[in-house]
Structure 1
Amino acid sequence: MPLVSIIVTTYNRELLLKETILSILAQSIEDLELIVVDNFSNYDFLKLIDSFHDKRIKSIQNQNNGIIAVNRNVGIQAAQGKYLAFCDDDDLWEPNKLELQLPFLESNSADLVYSGTLLFNEMGMNKIHCYQPVKTLSQFFGYNPVTLSSVILRNLKDISFDENRVFAGIEDYTLWINLWMRGFKFHMIEKPLVRFRVSSTSFSSVSRSNNEYKIIKFKMSLFARLLSWKERLALLYFTSFSIARFTLLKLLSR
């Protein structure tokens, strides 16, 4: 049994995926398995995986019909590790990421550990991005404070991403909320341990606004009844703001 199972989902990003895999294999913690789930890319995915000559890599191909959560869950089902970690196929890990995160899990002081993030692109942009540590439910209002590629958590075998198409694009956010409500202890390392690649395809204003709008709908439908009156007012404010922003950006993008 490996200590950590790392799940990467991918589609048609051969060169970026190679960089991602190399950053994971360069971890100072070697007791890991890397599960790469491919949505039948248009290049020879299996040949690429074989080129690493590393038995810790498991390759899976599965059709997800446009719902990334499906292939994330395929990876979780295949995972044998004590802990689960995730990385998008265009993000990069710092070599000591797992080494710095694991002690909090091993000491039972946390059930989920995430970190600050370094936003970067090919134009030379580098910007550290770090929210305040999550301590209350209301901190999830308006944004997702937990970067997927920075997360490592306990593998409890009943963890899964919501495959509902309504939540496509925010399946990680809905999982963090559900784990928080289940009593998971979150811990944040402020140091950026993951590099998040910002591109025109992954970080457009319209797609961000679309996801924010989905986030608001999710919060209203799933756990608004659990909020205090102050949190309900905050939710109402963010709902109004996000709907207006989403509508405006949609109009401007036509």
Structure 2
Amino acid sequence: MMTFVSVIMTVRNGEPYVEAAIASLLGQTDPDFELILVDNGSTDRSVQIARHFQDDRIRIIELGRDIGRTPALNVGVEQARGDYLAIQDADDLSRPQRLAIQRAFLSAHPEIALLTSRYRYIDASGQQLFEPPPPISDVQTTWNLLFINCLAHSSMMVRASLLRAYGGYNPAFSWAQDYELYGQFLRQGAKIAVLPEILADIRWHPQSLSQVVDQPTRREPLQTSVVNVQTWLPTWSTQRLTLALMPLSQKILPTSAPAATDTIVLLAELLPVFVQQRSLNVAAQQTLRQDIAATIWTLVTTADAQHQGAIARAYVWTTLRYFGWGMFRHHLIPHRWLFARLLFGARVANRLLALSRLRQRL
């Protein structure tokens, strides 16, 4: 009989955490699944620990050498027998109801292609570090995914047929293969949803992949973001998009006012295309505009006023040109003097402030 859910776990020298990771899956309230453990050339006791469980639901595939995380994931995808594929890293944990909740949701919502959930971060000993804020809406999650990876791979469940139809994981990505996969789904117009329940614990420790990748590899998310946006804005060159997306994708501030201007122009041109592609109603559009306003305001206030005043002014003036005063309505009153300084310079702003205080005394 076909296993309804296949859980894919790749491991390489995961001895400190793999036992707890497997136990969190075998303790699921929904027992109808298989665990495909792909050992990627471990030289420690990872495989022995997995065999110690003696559970028929565990299928161990030993590759014999390190072929890379992404190819190992694709081996798991090829071997999986389930209609739904779930991912769990060998150092993370699944909450007991994870598979049951996600399977039920995908069964009830055939329009959803890829599903994740809220999560929390834990340390090497399993102690809670923090919980990222809950997603406000699936629309905002989809919008944010154009620029950053805001999902937890170890909370993902996806329809196996679609994952294979889209070509599986891109082997050109050695680190951000999960974000590139989400990008594939976005570019195909597939719908992604995030459950409000916390169903996964993501472990931060010195040996985790996110802590040991080199700087060139860390640019993989930016590469994905460029491809995501270029799909909808094909007239933008790769070089121009890369510079415009750096503040959004990698939090790297621009070094010139024209680059800052391009970031706002990018958002202004992308928004109507996104609205049309996703057939968003007026309420969803307004929510996105508020989200964009908050993003731009963060860019404005993080620009160094002394050395990058021109950049901050470029953000403000370009936003006013493309979005209007309404974009900043929540920031105008509480931050009016900062606005004046950015728009007109410190000397004019100080004079306006002095006049305001004089009027108050009179």
Query: TM-score scaled by structure 1?
Result: 0.83
Q: How far apart, CA to CA, are the structure 2 residues paired with 1:131 and 1:64?
A: 39
Query: Which is richer in strand?
Result: 1
- Aligned match of 1:170: 176
- Output the amino acid matched with 1:148: H
List aligned pairs for 1:21-170, cutoff 5 A.
21-62=22-63, 65=66, 67-107=68-108, 108-121=110-123, 122=125, 124-130=127-133, 132=135, 133-135=137-139, 138-156=143-161, 157-158=164-165, 159-164=167-172, 167-170=173-176
- Aligned match of 1:248: none
Q: How far apart, CA to CA, are the structure 2 residues paired with 1:228 and 1:204?
A: 31
Q: Deviations over 1:212-245 (max 9, x none)?
A: 5221123324641413999x99974432573848
- What are the ranges of 5 or more consecutive residues in structure 2 without an aligned counterpart? 254-362
Q: How far apart, CA to CA, are the structure 1 residues paired with 2:233 and 2:134?
A: 21
> 1:187 is matched with which residue: 193, 217, 221?
193
- Output the amino acid matched with 1:31: D
- Aligned match of 2:322: none
Between stretches 41-50 and 108-117, larger displacement belongs to 41-50
Task: Tell whether the 8 Å contact from 2:38 to 2:60 is kept in structure 1 after alignment.
Answer: yes
Q: How far apart, CA to CA, are the structure 1 residues paired with 2:126 and 2:81?
A: 39
Q: How far apart, CA to CA, are the structure 1 residues paired with 2:210 and 2:20?
A: 23
Q: How far apart, CA to CA, are the structure 1 residues paired with 2:64 and 2:243?
A: 38
Q: How far apart, CA to CA, are the structure 2 residues paired with 1:207 and 1:134?
A: 30
* Structure number, greater radius of gyration: 2
- Aligned match of 2:329: none
RMSD: 3.0
Task: Tell whether the 8 Å contact from 1:131 to 1:145 is kept in structure 2 after alignment.
Answer: no
CA 227–209 in structure 1, closer or farther in 2 if over 3 Å, else same: farther
- Aligned match of 1:196: 202
Q: Deviations over 1:131-174 (max 9, x none)?
A: 5344265412442012110001111043510111xx21000110
Query: Which is richer in helix?
Result: 2
Task: Tell whether the 8 Å contact from 1:4 to 1:31 is kept in structure 2 after alignment.
Answer: yes
CA 190–64 in structure 1, closer or farther in 2 if over 3 Å, else same: farther
Q: How far apart, CA to CA, are the structure 1 residues paired with 2:242 and 2:122?
A: 31
Q: How many residues align?
A: 242
Q: How far apart, CA to CA, are the structure 2 residues paired with 1:20 and 1:199?
A: 15
Q: How far apart, CA to CA, are the structure 2 residues paired with 1:223 and 1:64?
A: 37
- Output the amino acid matched with 2:28: Q
How far does residue 99 in structure 1 lie from its aligned partner after superposition? Answer: 1.5
Between stretches 151-160 and 42-51, larger displacement belongs to 42-51
How far does residue 17 in structure 1 lie from its aligned partner after superposition? Answer: 0.6
Between stretches 235-244 and 111-120, larger displacement belongs to 235-244
Task: Tell whether the 8 Å contact from 1:64 to 1:70 is kept in structure 2 after alignment.
Answer: no
Q: How far apart, CA to CA, are the structure 2 residues paired with 1:58 and 1:37?
A: 8
Q: Does 1:216 align with 2:222?
A: yes
Q: How far apart, CA to CA, are the structure 2 residues paired with 1:111 and 1:66?
A: 28
- What are the ranges of 5 or more consecutive residues in structure 1 without an aligned counterpart? 246-254
Partner SS, residue 89 of structure 2: coil
How far does residue 179 in structure 1 lie from its aligned partner after superposition? Answer: 1.3
How far does residue 11 in structure 1 lie from its aligned partner after superposition? Answer: 0.6
Q: How far apart, CA to CA, are the structure 1 residues paired with 2:233 and 2:198?
A: 31
Task: Tell whether the 8 Å contact from 1:142 to 1:212 is kept in structure 2 after alignment.
Answer: no
Task: Tell whether the 8 Å contact from 1:143 to 1:212 is kept in structure 2 after alignment.
Answer: no
Partner SS, residue 35 of structure 1: strand
How far does residue 200 in structure 1 lie from its aligned partner after superposition? Answer: 2.4
- Output the amino acid matched with 1:80: R
Partner SS, residue 6 of structure 1: strand
Task: Tell whether the 8 Å contact from 1:7 to 1:75 is kept in structure 2 after alignment.
Answer: yes
- Output the amino acid matched with 1:163: P
- Output the amino acid matched with 2:95: E
Q: Does 1:239 align with 2:224?
A: no
Q: Percent identity?
A: 25
Partner SS, residue 14 of structure 1: coil
How far does residue 65 in structure 1 lie from its aligned partner after superposition? Answer: 4.2
Q: How far apart, CA to CA, are the structure 2 residues paired with 1:123 and 1:21?
A: 15
- Aligned match of 1:252: none
Partner SS, residue 55 of structure 1: coil
Between stretches 97-106 and 138-147, larger displacement belongs to 138-147
Partner SS, residue 131 of structure 2: strand
